[in-house]
C-alpha cells in the first residue's frame, strides 16, 4: 500500500494482513495458480473483501513483495546492523517462501509496480554491500546488480522444487557455491 493512501480502519487493515498472509502461505504451498476463492477462504474473508483490497493475484503478489521488502528494510535498520551475508540470507529465505511469485510477477508486464519494488531492493542492498566491500568481506568490484543477478540464479535453482525444505536446501547450497565468487580475494 502506498504511503499516500489514506489510513485504513483497523478491521480493514487486519483483513488485508490476513489476505496477504493466506496468499503467501497458499502461493508457497500450491503455486501461483491457487484460486482467489481459496485465498479468501484461507484468510477468512469474503470474495468482495478480497477484491476490495486486490484487483487480481498480480496485485496481491506485488503486495506480498512490498511486505517482504518492508521487513527487509526494517532488518537492515536494526542495530547492530546485520552483515551483508545475514541480509542476503534473509532475502533468500523470502525467496524460498515466495518462489511461485517471482516468475508470475515478472511475466505480468504492467500488472505490478515491479520497477518500484526493484528500486527499493537496490537501495536496501547498497549500504550493507558497501560496508562488506569496505570490510574486505566481498570483492571490491561487486555491485548491487551483480547481487541481484545472484539472487535471480538462486531463485531459478528453487523453481522446480516442490517443498520449502528442499527449496531452502537447494538455495543454501547455491549460495555456498556462489559466495566463493563473491568473496574478496587476497592480492
pLDDT of the chain along its 187 residues, tens only? 544 556 668 999 999 999 999 999 999 888 889 999 999 999 999 999 999 999 999 899 989 999 999 999 999 999 898 899 999 999 999 988 888 887 777 776 554 567 788 889 999 999 999 999 999 989 999 999 999 989 988 888 887 777 888 999 999 999 888 887 777 777 7
My answer on whether 41 and 67 are in the same domain is no
The CATH number assigned to the domain holding 101 equals 1.10.357
My answer on whether 97 and 145 are in the same domain is yes
Tell me whether residue 1 is in a domain. no
Q: Count Cβ atoms below 10 Å from residue 118 Cβ, excluding itself.
A: 13
**Structural domain count, the chain:** 2
Confidence (pLDDT) at 157: 85
Tell me whether residue 33 is in a domain. yes
Helix, strand and coil in the chain, % to nearest 5: 70, 0, 30
Phi, psi of 45 (to 5 degrees): -130, 165
Confidence (pLDDT) at 64: 94
C-alpha cell at 47: 470474495
Confidence (pLDDT) at 92: 92
- Structural domain boundaries enclosing 25: 7-54
Closest CA to 1 of 71, 55, 56, 53: 53
Tell me whether residue 187 is in a domain. no
Confidence (pLDDT) at 6: 62
State pTM to two decimals.
0.82
Please give the Cα distance from 46 to 53 (Å, whole number): 11
Confidence (pLDDT) at 40: 97
Tell me whether residue 2 is in a domain. no
My answer on whether 136 and 49 are in the same domain is no
Amino acid at each position: 500500500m502506498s504511503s499516500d493512501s489514506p489510513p485504513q480502519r483497523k478491521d480493514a487493515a487486519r483483513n488485508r494482513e490476513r489476505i496477504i498472509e493466506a496468499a503467501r502461505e497458499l502461493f508457497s504451498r500450491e503455486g501461483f495458480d491457487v484460486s482467489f476463492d481459496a485465498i479468501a477462504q484461507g484468510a477468512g474473508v469474503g470474495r468482495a473483501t478480497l477484491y476490495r483490497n486486490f484487483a487480481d493475484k498480480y496485485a496481491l503478489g506485488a503486495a506480498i513483495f512490498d511486505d517482504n521488502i518492508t521487513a527487509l528494510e526494517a532488518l537492515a535498520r536494526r542495530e547492530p546492523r546485520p552483515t551483508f551475508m545475514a541480509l542476503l540470507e534473509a532475502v533468500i529465505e523470502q525467496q524460498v517462501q515466495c518462489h511461485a511469485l517471482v516468475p508470475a510477477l515478472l511475466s505480468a508486464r504492467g500488472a505490478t509496480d515491479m520497477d518500484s519494488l526493484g528500486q527499493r531492493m537496490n537501495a536496501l542492498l547498497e549500504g550493507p554491500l558497501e560496508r562488506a566491500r569496505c570490510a574486505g568481506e566481498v570483492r571490491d568490484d561487486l555491485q548491487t546488480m551483480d547481487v541481484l543477478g545472484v539472487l535471480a540464479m538462486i531463485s531459478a535453482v528453487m523453481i522446480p522444487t516442490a517443498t520449502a525444505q528442499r527449496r531452502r536446501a537447494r538455495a543454501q547450497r547455491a549460495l555456498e557455491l556462489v559466495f566463493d565468487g563473491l568473496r574478496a580475494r587476497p592480492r
